[in-house]
C-alpha cells in the first residue's frame, strides 16, 4: 500500500489541476458582482464542510466515504460548467470548498501546490468582497451625497 498511495495521490493531483484550470477560468469570466456573490457562497460552503465529519468528503454520499477521495470536486466541477448561472456559482463554491479541505495539510507533495493555488483564488475572492464592502460603506456614509 505504501507504493500505491503516492501513485494515487499523483493521479488525484493531476485531476485537481485540470479541474482547477477550468474553475479559475470560470471565476475570471465572472462579472465583479457575481464574484462578490461567489465569495459569500464559498465561505458558506467551506464552513458547512468544516462542520461535517469528513470535510474533504463534503458533497459525497455517506456510503461512499471509503473511496480514496470524495466526489465533491467532480460534482462541483460538473455544476460549474452549467449554463445556468446560479448552478454554476454554487458548483464553483462547492469545488473550492472541497478542494480546500482535501488539500489542506496534505502530506502528499503533489497536492500542496494545488492548495496554494486554491488559497490564492480564495484570497482574490476575499479581496473583491472586501473592496465591495468599502465601496458600499463609502456610498452610504454621506460623503457621496
Distance CA 18, CA 100 (A): 15
Structure pTM? 0.86
Q: What is the pLDDT of residues 79-95, one digit of tens each?
A: 999 999 999 999 999 99
Q: How far apart are CA 53 and CA 50, in angstroms?
A: 8
pLDDT above 90 for 20? yes
Does pLDDT of 141 surpass 50? no
d(CA 12, CA 141): 49
Cell of 47: 464552513
Highest mean pLDDT among 7-11, 35-39, 62-66: 35-39
Q: Is the pLDDT of residue 142 over 60?
A: no
- Using CA atoms, how far residue 136 sits from 18, 28, 130, 131, 132, in Å, is 36, 22, 10, 9, 6
Determine the Cα–Cα distance for residues 109 and 53; give it in Å rounded to an integer: 25
Count of beta carbons in the 10 Å neighbourhood of residue 142: 7
- Enumerate the H helices of the chain as residue ranges: 4-29, 32-51, 72-80, 85-103, 112-140
- According to the model, what pLDDT value does residue 106 have? 87
* All structural domains of the chain with their residue ranges: 4-140
Amino acid at each position: 500500500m505504501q507504493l500505491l498511495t503516492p501513485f494515487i495521490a499523483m493521479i488525484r493531483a493531476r485531476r485537481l489541476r485540470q479541474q482547477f484550470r477550468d474553475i479559475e477560468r470560470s471565476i475570471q469570466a465572472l462579472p465583479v458582482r457575481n464574484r462578490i456573490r461567489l465569495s459569500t457562497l464559498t465561505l458558506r460552503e467551506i464552513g458547512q464542510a468544516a462542520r461535517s465529519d469528513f470535510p474533504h468528503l463534503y458533497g459525497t454520499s455517506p456510503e461512499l466515504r471509503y473511496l480514496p477521495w470524495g466526489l465533491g470536486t467532480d460534482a462541483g466541477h460538473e455544476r460549474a460548467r452549467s449554463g445556468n448561472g446560479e448552478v454554476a456559482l454554487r458548483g464553483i463554491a462547492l469545488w473550492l470548498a472541497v478542494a480546500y479541505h482535501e488539500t489542506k495539510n496534505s502530506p502528499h507533495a503533489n497536492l500542496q501546490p494545488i492548495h496554494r493555488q486554491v488559497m490564492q483564488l480564495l484570497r482574490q475572492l476575499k479581496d473583491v468582497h472586501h473592496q465591495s464592502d468599502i465601496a458600499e460603506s463609502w456610498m452610504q456614509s454621506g460623503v457621496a451625497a
